[in-house]
C-alpha cells in the first residue's frame, strides 16, 4: 500500500512539474535574478484598509525609484529595502497625476551605486507574449529575501476604464492587461519584463474595471512613462493643468469654514498640501477632534493631494453622511470620523 501511494505521489509530482515546465517555456532564469535585483521593497504607513508596503523599480545608478503614486508616497514615512537587505530613507522627487507615478530617491551615500533599469531602452510586448512580474506581493520579502516573481502572458493592450471607489484610473494611453495575478497587496510599482528580462512596464495598483467590477491585472508600459520620468528627474512640471475650482464641483474656502469649521492654509500653488490652519470652536470639525496643524492625507479611501483636492472631495457628501478623514498629526496617523453638515 505504501509503495502504491509513493508511486502515485511520484506520478503527481511529475505531472505538475511537466505542467510548470510547459507554462514557463521560454523564461530565461538569469533574467529572474536580474529582475529581482532592480526591484525595491517599499514600507510606509498603511491607511484604513490600505496596506503599508509596496514595490518600486530602481531607474538610476544613484538610487532613483519609480513607483505608483499612492498613499505610501503621500504619507511621507517611506523606507526602501534593496535586494541585498540595505535599508534607506526615501525622499519624493516628484509625481505625475495623469501617469499615476512617483519618482523617489534613496537617501544613500554619494559613493553607493545600484543596479537599475534603463527606462530609456524598454521593450514592447505583444498579446500572448510570456512575461515576468516582479514585486513584493503580500509582504513576502522584508530584508534581503528576493521579491516574488509571477509568470504569465499579456492578454491584450487596451485603454483601461477602472478605479476604486470614487478614484478613477487617470492613464489614457493603452495598458497591458495581464493573465497573471498582480492585482494584490504590495505588487503596485513592481516591474514587468519579457521572458528574457527586457523591461516592459510598471505593475499597477489594486483597481476594478468599471463595467464588470472585476479586479484588473495590468501594467503601464514604461515607454509611455518616459516623458513623465524625464520631466520629474529634470525638475520640470509635466502634464496638463488640473481642473480649476470653476471646472469641477468644490467647496469654496468660505463654504468649508462655514460648514465644517475648517480653514486651510492659503492655496499658493496647485499642490499646496491640505494643512488645517484654524478650527472654529464648536464646529463639526472641532467636535470630531480635528486640530490646527493637521495635514489631511485621505478622505475615506481616497488620497488627498492638495487643498483643492480636499475641498473637492468634501463637496461630494450629503448632509449627515459619515466621513472618515485620515490626518498626519505630529508624525503619527490619526483617523477622525465626522459628519457632513
Q: Which helix (H) or strand (E) holds 17?
A: helix 2-23
Helical residues (DSSP H) of 160-283, grouped into ranges: 222-233, 253-260
CATH number at residue 286: 2.30.42.10
258 in the same domain as 223: no
Tell me, yes or no, whether 159 and 229 share the same domain: yes
The reply to whether 131 and 196 lie within a common domain is yes
For residues 208 and 275, membership in a common domain is answered with no
Residue 278 falls within a domain, yes or no?
Answer: yes
CA 239 and chain centroid, separation: 19
Q: What domain range is 198 assigned to? A: 29-233
Give the chain's domain count. Answer: 2
Within 10 A of 232 (CB to CB), how many other CB atoms are there? 24
Residues 202 and 272 in one domain: no
Binning pLDDT at 50, 70 and 90, where does residue 265 land?
confident
13 backbone φψ class: left, alpha, beta (φ>0; ψ -120 to 50): alpha
Q: What is the pLDDT of residue 154?
A: 96
Q: What pLDDT score was predicted for residue 163? A: 87
Where are the alpha helices (H) located in the chain, listed in sequence order? 2-23, 29-37, 71-75, 222-233, 253-260, 284-288, 307-314
289 plus 206 within the same structural domain: no
Average confidence (pLDDT) over 134-144:
88
Task: Tell me, yes or no, whether 124 and 45 share the same domain.
Answer: yes
- Do 220 and 257 fall into the same domain? no
The reply to whether 155 and 109 lie within a common domain is: yes
- The mean of the pLDDT values for the chain is 84
Write the CB contacts of 121 (distance below 8 Å, at least 6 apart in sequence): 199
pLDDT of 76 reads 62
Give me 98's grid cell.
495623469
Provide the pLDDT for residue 106: 96
**Residue 133's domain is classified under what CATH number?**
2.40.10.120
pLDDT of amino acid 287:
93
Confidence class for position 150, pLDDT limits 50, 70, 90: very high
Same domain, 172 and 67: yes
8-state DSSP, 194: E
pLDDT band of residue 60 (cuts 50, 70, 90) is very high
Q: What is the DSSP-derived secondary structure letter of residue 50?
A: B
- pLDDT at residue 240 is higher than 90: no
pLDDT band per the 50, 70, 90 thresholds, residue 239: low
Amino acid at each position: 500500500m505504501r509503495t502504491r501511494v509513493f508511486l502515485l505521489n511520484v506520478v503527481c509530482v511529475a505531472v505538475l512539474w511537466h505542467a510548470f515546465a510547459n507554462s514557463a517555456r521560454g523564461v530565461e532564469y538569469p533574467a529572474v535574478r536580474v529582475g529581482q535585483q532592480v526591484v525595491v521593497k517599499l514600507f510606509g504607513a498603511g491607511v484604513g484598509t490600505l496596506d503599508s508596503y509596496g514595490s518600486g523599480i530602481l531607474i538610476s545608478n544613484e538610487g532613483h525609484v519609480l513607483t505608483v503614486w499612492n498613499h505610501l508616497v503621500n504619507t511621507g514615512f517611506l523606507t526602501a529595502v534593496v535586494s541585498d537587505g540595505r535599508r534607506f530613507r526615501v525622499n519624493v522627487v516628484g509625481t505625475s497625476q495623469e501617469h499615476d507615478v512617483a519618482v523617489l530617491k534613496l537617501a544613500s551615500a554619494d559613493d553607493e551605486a545600484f543596479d537599475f533599469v534603463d527606462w530609456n531602452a524598454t521593450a514592447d510586448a505583444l498579446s500572448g507574449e510570456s512575461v515576468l512580474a516582479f514585486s513584493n506581493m503580500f509582504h513576502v520579502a522584508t530584508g534581503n529575501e528576493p521579491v516574488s516573481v509571477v509568470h504569465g502572458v499579456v492578454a491584450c493592450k487596451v485603454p483601461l476604464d477602472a478605479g476604486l471607489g470614487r478614484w478613477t484610473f487617470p492613464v489614457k494611453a493603452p495598458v497591458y492587461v495581464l493573465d497573471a495575478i498582480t492585482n494584490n497587496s504590495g505588487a503596485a510599482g513592481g516591474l514587468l519584463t519579457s521572458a528574457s528580462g527586457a523591461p516592459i512596464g510598471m505593475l499597477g495598483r489594486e483597481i476594478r474595471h468599471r463595467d464588470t467590477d472585476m479586479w484588473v491585472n495590468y501594467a503601464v508600459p514604461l515607454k509611455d512613462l518616459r516623458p513623465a520620468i524625464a520631466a520629474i528627474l529634470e525638475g520640470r512640471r509635466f502634464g496638463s493643468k488640473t481642473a480649476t475650482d470653476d471646472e469641477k464641483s468644490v467647496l469654496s474656502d468660505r463654504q468649508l469654514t462655514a460648514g465644517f469649521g475648517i480653514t486651510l492654509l492659503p492655496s499658493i500653488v496647485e499642490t499646496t498640501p491640505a494643512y488645517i490652519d484654524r478650527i472654529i470652536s464648536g464646529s463639526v470639525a472641532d467636535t470630531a477632534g480635528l486640530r490646527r496643524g493637521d495635514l489631511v492625507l485621505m478622505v475615506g479611501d481616497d488620497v488627498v493631494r492638495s487643498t483643492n483636492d480636499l475641498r473637492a472631495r468634501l463637496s461630494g457628501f450629503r448632509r449627515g453622511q459619515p466621513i472618515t478623514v485620515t490626518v498626519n498629526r505630529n508624525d503619527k496617523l490619526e483617523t477622525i470620523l465626522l459628519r457632513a453638515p
